[in-house]
Structure 1
Amino acid sequence: MPSTNSSAKSLKAEKTNQSAILFAFIAAAFYALSTPFSKLLLTNLDGTILAGLLYLGAGIGMLAILLVYKAFNLDSSEISLGKSELKYIIAMVILDIAAPIFLMAGLKMSSAANVSLLNNFEIVTTTMIASLVFHEKISKTLGTGIALVTLSTMILSFQSEGSLSFSVGSAFVLMACLCWGLENNCTRMLSSKDPKQIVVIKGFGSGLGALGIGLIIGKTLPEPKLLISALILGFIAYGFSVYLYVLAQRTLGASKTSAFYAVAPFIGAAASIVVFRELPGLNFWVALAVLAVGTYFTNKG
């Protein structure tokens, strides 16, 4: 009888793990859409305002879902956020205000395909912080993957083959990745709580914060058509994506979830090439090859 119970528990754990991996992959696919479509919106929108609208869209969309769950008493087992999580919530909101502003600045100066790949540096920052601060173990295989991902970002960060000048746009993207790496580990400390609440707080807090900064520096809100487009993109790429990411983190942890999330840059790069019909330079393809090997090792680790 004990062996039967043990087998059932093992099967349940395996299914939970598979679900978490699936959530991480879907979250990555949704987030990948943000780079090419944000680049399109930036032709008519200020970066700070767009950053705010993306997160605000996430907050509004997830609030609607949260209200439906409350109305029909669904997911009653979810634990609400409390005062003990306040420091992580504040840090999460501040970092989520800064990160997309940096990203939009970098996206204005760089190709969408390059930015899609550079986003993978978030894996490095997330994993290193998870290891140094929260003592998550990094295997040799995962360490190799992280080193290769770092190398690929260095290749992409130079303006062109034969040039040793560092791209300012790349620097902004890497700063965004650092902010999100810190933020991912703050979110990790909240992952046992209701993910819908987390996204609502993240969305409204970071969205209104970034919008406030944009309006203070003299930027204006866009026409309704652009505003609604940004909100919808935000709900898909920053709202539902983060909701699934938090669910995955419960089972996989911060570093492992980020490793599976590594497919996002490949999807984003492919979408960017299709949308903008621009073939990237040689450094992009070299970085892509290095990143592919690095992603393989991070997923194996």
Structure 2
Amino acid sequence: MNRKQKISILWAILAAVLYAGSAPVSKLLLQHIPPTIMASFLYLGAGIGMSMLRFFRLKFSRTYKEQKLSKKETPYTLGMIILDIAAPILLMIGLTKTTSANASLLNNFEIISTSLIALLFFHETIHKKLWIAIGLITLSSMLLSFVDSSSFSFSAGSLSVILACLCWGLENNCTRMLSSKDPMQIVVIKGFGSGFGSFVIALLIGEQLVNVKYMLLALIIGFLSYGLSIFFYVYAQRELGAVITSTYYACAPFIGVILSCIFLKETPTITFTIAFLFMLAGTYFVTSDSKSNADIMKNV
């Protein structure tokens, strides 16, 4: 593993840590902010914060040389924006119907969707251990989605989070196609495009603006958990690819679970504990296989 790969792994882990706190904090803010408005302000916070950082970097840094997006990347850019409108709205809706810990753990399903889409449409290679991980994480996600095993009913909140992960899995692969370009520009476009798109949808469905204090908090959380997190994630993808970056990003749900239990006093059920162990095992296979996957992807 060379120096660039090691640094990229640190970017991926840092992105995960920043994102991990978003679920428990968003759960608290959703008591005061409607879900679509919340999704909008999270991405607007990312766009505003990163545009300010980009302005200062362009103005004062002589070494800042990044490629700008071109017309060639327009389909991937539009796909990224549309999917980033849908995913956070689905996640916020899910958080109103399930626990923060449950939603945090289900976020690992993003690895599955990212990996399978990368395999089917972008021809990245999936190694044997990653297939085992896919099976374990899928099983865990199914356990977390059941409400009543006797009637095979599913949790609407869990299914909403899984749909969000599917959107983000496809979005990760769109972003992968842009990862050689300016990461700050990508995050600014994500933030404003997805933020304003969600805001229009919120107004159309009749959601109302709330206390300025809560909206400012949502903007700050958006800058940290979405803006900086996405920024570091894009940098990691340059060297590692969509699949490998997602594997290191997999620690975010576990951090989110810990934070949910500490700050929201959420008590894990037996089913949740079993699902947690399956998810932990799946994540182990994902991370232990990341080096071999990276070696394979060099030849793709």
1:10 — aligned with what? none
Letter aligned with residue 280 of structure 2: A
Alpha-carbon distance between aligned partners in 2 of 1:206 and 1:34, rounded to the nearest angstrom: 17
Alpha-carbon distance between aligned partners in 2 of 1:67 and 1:165, rounded to the nearest angstrom: 50
Alpha-carbon distance between aligned partners in 2 of 1:179 and 1:212, rounded to the nearest angstrom: 19
Alpha-carbon distance between aligned partners in 1 of 2:264 and 2:63, rounded to the nearest angstrom: 42
Look at both structures and tell me which one has the larger radius of gyration over its CA atoms. 1
Deviation at 1:146, TM superposition (A): 1.3
SS at match of 1:159: strand
SS at match of 2:123: coil
Q: Could you tell which deviates more after superposition, 273-282 or 242-251? A: 273-282
Alpha-carbon distance between aligned partners in 1 of 2:271 and 2:157, rounded to the nearest angstrom: 15
Deviation at 1:295, TM superposition (A): 0.3
Matches within 5 A, 1:109-120: 109-120=97-108
1:284 — aligned with what? 272
2:243 — aligned with what? 255
Deviation at 1:73, TM superposition (A): 3.3
TM-score by length of 1: 0.94
From 77, 95, 111, the equivalent of 1:107 is 95
1:20 — aligned with what? 8
Alpha-carbon distance between aligned partners in 2 of 1:198 and 1:205, rounded to the nearest angstrom: 10
Deviations 1:177-205 (A, max 9, x none): 00000000000000000000000000000
SS at match of 1:280: coil
Deviation at 1:286, TM superposition (A): 0.4
1:141 — aligned with what? 129
**Contact preservation (8 Å) 1:161, 1:282:** no
Deviations 1:25-79 (A, max 9, x none): 1100111111000000000110000000000000000000000111113443211
Work out the percentage of aligned pairs sharing the same amino acid.
Answer: 53
Deviations 1:150-207 (A, max 9, x none): 1110111112576632111111111100000000000000000000000000000000
2:77 — aligned with what? 89
SS at match of 2:284: helix
**Contact preservation (8 Å) 1:160, 1:281:** no
Q: Please provide the CA RMSD for this pair.
A: 1.1
**Contact preservation (8 Å) 1:160, 1:283:** no
1:58 — aligned with what? 46
1:221 — aligned with what? 209
From 204, 212, 235, the equivalent of 2:200 is 212
Q: Could you tell which deviates more after superposition, 155-164 or 143-152? A: 155-164
**Contact preservation (8 Å) 2:148, 2:154:** no
Residue 156, structure 1, aligned to residue 141, structure 2: no
1:181 — aligned with what? 169
Alpha-carbon distance between aligned partners in 2 of 1:274 and 1:227, rounded to the nearest angstrom: 24
Letter aligned with residue 138 of structure 2: T
Alpha-carbon distance between aligned partners in 1 of 2:240 and 2:162, rounded to the nearest angstrom: 24
Deviation at 1:276, TM superposition (A): 1.1
Alpha-carbon distance between aligned partners in 2 of 1:264 and 1:16, rounded to the nearest angstrom: 22
Deviation at 1:269, TM superposition (A): 0.5
Give structure 2 stretches of 5+ with no counterpart: 290-300
Letter aligned with residue 18 of structure 2: F
Give structure 1 stretches of 5+ with no counterpart: 1-12
Alpha-carbon distance between aligned partners in 2 of 1:74 and 1:19, rounded to the nearest angstrom: 22
Pick closer, same or farther for the CA change 1:75–1:107 going to 2, 3 Å: farther
2:186 — aligned with what? 198
Alpha-carbon distance between aligned partners in 2 of 1:60 and 1:74, rounded to the nearest angstrom: 23
Deviations 1:221-260 (A, max 9, x none): 1211001000000000000000000000001000010011
Aligned length: 289
Residue 132, structure 1, aligned to residue 136, structure 2: no
**Contact preservation (8 Å) 1:52, 1:209:** yes
Deviations 1:82-132 (A, max 9, x none): 111111000000000000011111110000000000010000000000011
1:31 — aligned with what? 19
2:263 — aligned with what? 275
SS at match of 2:126: coil
